[in-house]
Each structure stands twice: as C-alpha cells, then as structure tokens.
C-alpha cells in the first residue's frame, strides 16, 4: 500500500486502540527493565490510566459518522462504539480488582498480568470494530492467547496449571471449528470482507447452496459457543473459572463473554441474516435456523442453573451462573426481535455490574479465609454489614429481582420473545422457570450471610480498589434498575444500530 494512501485514512477513529497498544508496550518495557524486587502494583494504576484515557477518546468519537478504513477491515459504527464502552468499563474494573489481588503462594508475574490483559482487551476491541473475517479472527486470537496465559499466571498453583491446560485445549478446538466455518464462507464468496459477503449472499437463492451455508453457520456457531461457555460446550468453564486468579475469572465471565457476543452479532447476524432461505420471498436463513439457536439457549439455561444447585465452591457456582446468563442472552439472539441489539447491550451492562461486584466481594472474603467454600460467607452481615448489603444487591440482580438492573435486562429479553411472529412461548417459559431455579443457589449465599453464625470473627478490611469496584457496581445496579432510561438514552444516540451494515 502506498504511503499517500495510508496518510489519507482517518486514523483518529483508531485512537482508543492506539492508546491501549501504546500503554501495553510501555508496560512490557517497564516490567522488563524494572528490578525484580520492586513492587509491580503501580503498573496497575498506569494501565488503569490508559484504559480511562482510551475511554475518553472513544467518547469523543461518539458523534463521528460511520467510518471505515484499511479497505473496510476496520469500522467505527454504532455497534463498535456501544460495545467498546462495555469493554472499557469492564477493563477498568478488572484492573482495580487486580490491584489488591494477592494469592496465598504470591504472584511472581504480576507485571505480566497488566500488559497481557491490555492485549486481550485490544483483541476484544478489534473484534468490535472488525469489518473483515481476517481482522475478526486476529482479534479473537489476540484475546484468546492472552487469556490462556492469564489463566495459568499462578504457576505454583496446581489447579491453575490444570485450568490453563484445559482452556488451551478447548480454546484451540473451538478456534479450529470457528475457522473451519469461516473457510466455507470465504470459499463460497471469494472474499473476507463482511459487507461484501453479505451483499454477495443476498443474491444467492439456489437451494443447493443452502446446505453448504447452513453447515458454515453451524460450524461457526459451535466454535463461538465454546467462547460463550454455552451448553453443551461449557465443560471447560467451571474448572477454568475456579483455577484462574479471581480478576481473570471476572474478566473471562464478563469482558471475554461480551467479546464473544460481539463476534456472534457482528458475523452471524450481518452475514446469515442476508441469505434467503429457499427463495427471494422467503425469510432469511438466520430466521429459518432460529429454532436451533433457541434449543441451544434452552439447554444452556437449564444445565447452567441446575448444575449450579450442587456447587459448594462459590467460584464454580458463579461459573455455572455465567453459563446460565449466556443462555439468557442467547434467548435475545434466538428471537431476533427488532429490540435484539438493545436488549443484549443492556443485559451485558447489567451483568457486568452485578458480576464484577460479586467477584470483588468474593476476592476479599476468600483471601482472608483462604477458601472459596460457601461457608466463608457465614455471618458476613455481623463482620461487615456494608459488604453483606452490597453482596445482597448483586445477588438480587443476578436473580432478576425487581428494582435491579438484572431484572430490567431479563424483562427486556423476556418481552422480546413475544414481539416476533410466531412468539417464542416455550423459550420464554424456560427462561422464567430456570430463573426461579436460580433463586435457590443465589439465596443460599443470602442464608449464609444473614442467618448463619459467625465462624471467623475477624473484621474484613476493604482495600481502596475493592471499595471503588463495589461502590460503582452497586450504584450502577440500583440506578439502572430504577432508571433504565438513563442507559437507553445513551444507547439511543446510536440510532438503534441502524448503520450496522452501511
């Protein structure tokens, strides 16, 4: 590519990515030359500053029209802007959690955590703005490979080594399946540009081609289901969540999952929604296959919530809870209503707040008792009333109780199942039933906090980073539960993602 052409691009739309890349590079150099006996915690503040600056630069780009550079491989549209806000918010909370994370055996590679996390965040950002299969896959792999290393960061902890190995194997298989599905799309269309693929397939009405494209859809969906921890491709999640450092677990359950849904929406909706099912007057292929997506959502909700009932380890319980919540979001994807993008975005925002808050409190409580068993919450209200109340808010939101952001998110998805024709009554009924089942294990923690005698009478110290995370998450959970219009007004400036395929 000629230098004159490169200079004509509007590189300003990539400023958030450049900031994260620059900060990650600087952190890696500082960590390399810093004496081994020096504390690496200040690097977290530097990384946090980089994320905040990148978020500010993104907010300054909200009024910018749809911009495409580098041969339409990078797009700054409403979809990218909305989901990058979630990624940056989640990234900032992860860094605050990591600031005070100290496992029993110590963490020798703390410096590596910060720039590896930023590269993972950069991969998720590239996925949100990708307009090409190649850049989409590069972003996915940047996120995945960084995550593999982060999971195994506690090298002296046997469970972390086992988790990293399982994650690498399952992630490699998922990547291969996803790439295999993408290869069918490329082989059929002869291009990797998502917009060109959609335009080309919109003209393909030959019935014989439908089977090849359906195979590509299922392969891609199965591969991405591993990333989402959607049943029955969820087997890796409980072990990985349990063995990984708590900030990494929070990252995988929220930020990485958000990136997974980004690629599902960016690729599957933009491509397969344009393919006629059996003729130009028929519904799109995505509509004709929505029953299979609904089945995947139903299985994910049922398995996630029922298996969580038997868990004593709170990390594993939240892992199965994360699987169940992936099922709830898949309900919105399965119904394909006109409110799908809004419902998915709001639910991921609510899930980010309530899940990060829960993991922040779990990190503090488990660090003092050196256990993640549910009994560590026994008598928490007497030891730290504010912490117990905050945890109660997050549990109520996870359970979908009115007055919380989690309730609004579930109601939006539930109502979305009825605005389509035909309505998805069975899927909506399963969503309600499994939500009721989830009350059992969420309220089990309630019982421990408020109705069980205190086993450890030591007071719990609140590090400043944890206080910020819990305060932000609790405030946001209540605010968006009582006034969801604040989030929707912000989302409204994106014109409901009308420029998704411009």
Query: What are 37-46's pLDDT values in tens digits?
Result: 787 788 888 9
- In which element (H, E) is residue 43 found? helix 41-59
Residue 318 pLDDT grade (very low, low, confident, very high; cuts 50, 70, 90): very high
Which stretches of 274-404 are DSSP H helices?
Answer: 285-288, 290-308, 314-335, 340-369, 380-383, 385-399
pLDDT on residue 483: 92
Are 236 and 318 in the same domain? no
For residue 433, pLDDT over 90 is answered with yes
Are 128 and 160 in the same domain? yes
CB 468 within 8 A of CB 89: no
Q: Which residues contact 395 (CB under 8 A, 6 or more apart)?
A: 358, 442, 443, 445, 446
Residue 271 maps to a domain: no
Q: How many helices (H) and strands (E) does the chain have?
A: 23, 2
Are 340 and 480 in the same domain? yes
Residue 161 maps to a domain: yes
Are 259 and 352 in the same domain? no
Residue 352 pLDDT grade (very low, low, confident, very high; cuts 50, 70, 90): very high
The predicted-structure confidence for 195-215, as pLDDT tens digits, reads as follows 888 888 777 656 667 788 888
Compute CA 300 distance to the chain's CA centroid, rounded to the nearest angstrom: 16
pLDDT on residue 106: 64
Residues pairing with 132 in the sheet: 193
pLDDT on residue 38: 80
Which stretches of 203-275 are DSSP H helices?
Answer: 207-228, 236-243, 246-250, 257-263, 270-272
Q: Which residues contact 61 (CB under 8 A, 6 or more apart)?
A: 12, 13, 15, 16, 76, 81
CB 372 within 8 A of CB 366: yes
For residue 247, pLDDT over 70 is answered with yes
For residue 24, pLDDT over 80 is answered with yes
Residue 259 maps to a domain: yes
Q: Whole-structure pTM over 0.85, yes or no?
A: yes
Lowest mean pLDDT of 51-55, 128-132, 314-318, 452-456, name the range.
452-456
Are 98 and 151 in the same domain? yes
Residues 293 and 335: their CA atoms lie apart, in Å, by 9
Residue 499 pLDDT grade (very low, low, confident, very high; cuts 50, 70, 90): low
Are 128 and 257 in the same domain? yes
Cis amide prior to 422 (ω within 30 degrees): yes
The token duo for 197 is 């693929």
Are 346 and 397 in the same domain? yes
The count of other CB atoms within 10 Å of the CB of residue 75 is 25
The token duo for 222 is 């199965």
Are 367 and 248 in the same domain? no
Residue of higher predicted confidence among 502 and 102: 102
Number of domains in the chain: 2
Are 427 and 312 in the same domain? yes
Domain coverage including residue 452: 289-502
Residues 424 and 414: their CA atoms lie apart, in Å, by 9
Residues 491 and 485: their CA atoms lie apart, in Å, by 9
pLDDT on residue 277: 67
Which stretches of 370-495 are DSSP H helices?
Answer: 380-383, 385-399, 405-416, 425-451, 464-482, 485-492
Question: 375 burial class (0-12, 13-18, 19+ CB within 10 angstroms)?
Answer: middle
The predicted-structure confidence for 167-182, as pLDDT tens digits, reads as follows 999 999 999 999 999 9
Mean pLDDT of all residues belonging to the chain: 86
* 8-to-5, 11, 477 alpha-carbon distances in Å: 5, 9, 43
Residue 207 maps to a domain: no
Are 257 and 341 in the same domain? no
Residue 187 maps to a domain: no
Residue 273 maps to a domain: no
Are 126 and 31 in the same domain? yes
Residue 181 maps to a domain: no
Q: Concatenated DSSP letters for 61-84?
A: TTTSPPEEETTTTEEE-HHHHHHH
Are 253 and 300 in the same domain? no
Residue 392 maps to a domain: yes
pLDDT on residue 494: 63
Residue 104 pLDDT grade (very low, low, confident, very high; cuts 50, 70, 90): low
């Amino acid at each position: 590519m000629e230098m004159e052409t490169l200079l004509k691009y509007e590189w300003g739309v990539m400023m958030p990515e450049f900031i994260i890349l620059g900060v990650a590079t600087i952190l890696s150099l500082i960590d390399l030359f810093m004496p081994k006996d020096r504390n690496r915690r200040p690097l977290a503040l530097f990384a946090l500053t980089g994320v905040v600056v990148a978020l500010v630069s993104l907010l300054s780009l909200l009024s910018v029209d749809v911009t495409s550079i580098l041969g339409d491989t990078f797009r700054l549209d409403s979809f990218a802007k909305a989901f990058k806000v979630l990624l940056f918010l989640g990234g900032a909370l992860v860094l605050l959690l990591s600031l005070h994370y100290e496992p029993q055996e110590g963490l020798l590679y703390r410096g590596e955590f910060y720039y590896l996390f930023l590269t993972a965040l950069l991969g998720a950002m590239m996925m949100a703005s990708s307009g090409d299969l190649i850049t989409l896959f590069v972003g996915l792999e940047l996120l995945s490979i960084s995550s593999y290393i982060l999971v195994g960061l506690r090298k002296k902890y046997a469970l972390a080594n086992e988790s990293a190995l399982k994650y690498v194997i399952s992630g490699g298989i998922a990547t291969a399946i996803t790439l295999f599905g993408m290869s069918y799309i490329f082989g059929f269309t002869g291009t990797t540009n998502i917009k060109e693929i959609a335009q080309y397939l919109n003209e393909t009405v030959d019935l014989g081609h439908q089977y090849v494209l359906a195979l590509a859809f299922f392969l891609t969906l199965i591969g991405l289901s591993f990333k989402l921890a959607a049943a029955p491709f969820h087997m890796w999640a409980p072990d990985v969540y349990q063995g990984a450092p708590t900030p990494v677990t929070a990252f995988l359950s929220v930020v990485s999952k958000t990136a997974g849904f980004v690629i599902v929406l960016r690729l599957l909706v933009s491509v397969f929604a344009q393919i006629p099912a059996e003729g130009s007057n028929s519904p799109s292929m995505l509509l004709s296959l929505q029953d299979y997506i609904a089945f995947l959502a139903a299985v994910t909700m049922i398995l996630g919530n029922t298996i969580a009932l038997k868990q004593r380890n709170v990390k594993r319980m939240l892992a199965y809870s994360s699987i169940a919540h992936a099922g709830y979001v898949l309900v919105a994807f399965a119904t394909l209503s006109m409110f799908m993008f809004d419902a998915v975005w709001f639910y991921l925002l609510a899930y980010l707040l309530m899940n990060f808050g829960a993991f922040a409190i779990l990190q503090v409580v488990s660090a003092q008792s050196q256990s993640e068993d549910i009994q560590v919450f026994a008598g928490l209200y007497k030891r730290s009333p504010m912490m117990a109340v905050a945890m109660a808010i997050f549990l109520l939101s996870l359970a979908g109780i009115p007055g919380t952001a989690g309730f609004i998110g579930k109601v939006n998805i539930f109502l979305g199942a009825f605005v389509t024709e035909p309505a998805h009554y069975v899927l909506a009924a399963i969503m309600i039933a499994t939500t009721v089942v989830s009350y059992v294990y969420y309220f089990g923690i309630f019982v421990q906090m408020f109705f069980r005698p205190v086993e450890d009478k030591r007071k719990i110290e609140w590090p400043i980073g944890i206080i910020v995370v819990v305060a932000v998450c609790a405030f946001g959970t209540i605010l968006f539960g009582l006034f969801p219009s604040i989030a929707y007004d912000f989302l409204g400036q994106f014109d409901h993602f009308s420029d998704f395929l411009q």
